[in-house]
């Protein structure tokens, strides 16, 4: 499925993108996170030992949230400033 991924604040700066579209076979938010982490490099800011919040289609979720297309997944630090 095609997913729109959004990155905010320090995550946007670390990854170097504000958004991207990816093809994914993931069934949950946690699986998407795993796919991104597997890319390594700039995506390592999404590691589980980092404070990262997630929203699926504008609703705060945890990693167990199921994904159905069309989907927009946002990653951001707990405190996001202007």
Q: Is 82 part of any domain? A: no
Output the tens digit of pLDDT for each of the chain's 82 residues. Answer: 999 999 999 999 999 999 999 999 999 999 999 999 999 999 999 999 988 999 999 999 999 999 998 899 999 998 755 5
Q: Is 55 part of any domain? A: yes
For 51, the domain range is: 2-76
Q: How far apart are CA 42 and CA 57, in angstroms?
A: 24
Q: Is 39 part of any domain? A: yes
What is the number of domains present in the chain? 1
Q: How far apart are CA 45 and CA 61, in angstroms?
A: 19
pTM: 0.91
**Which pLDDT belongs to residue 78?**
82
For the chain, how far is it from start to end, CA to CA, in angstroms? 32
* SS3 category, 29: helix
Residue 72, domain CATH: 3.10.20.30
Q: Is 81 part of any domain? A: no
């Amino acid at each position: 499925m095609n997913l729109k991924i959004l990155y905010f604040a320090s995550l946007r700066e670390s990854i170097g993108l504000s958004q991207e579209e990816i093809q994914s076979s993931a069934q949950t938010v946690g699986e998407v996170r795993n796919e991104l982490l597997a890319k390594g490099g700039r995506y390592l800011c999404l590691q589980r030992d980092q404070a990262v919040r997630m929203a699926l289609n504008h609703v705060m979720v945890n990693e167990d949230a199921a994904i159905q297309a069309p989907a927009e997944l946002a990653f951001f630090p707990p405190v996001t400033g202007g």
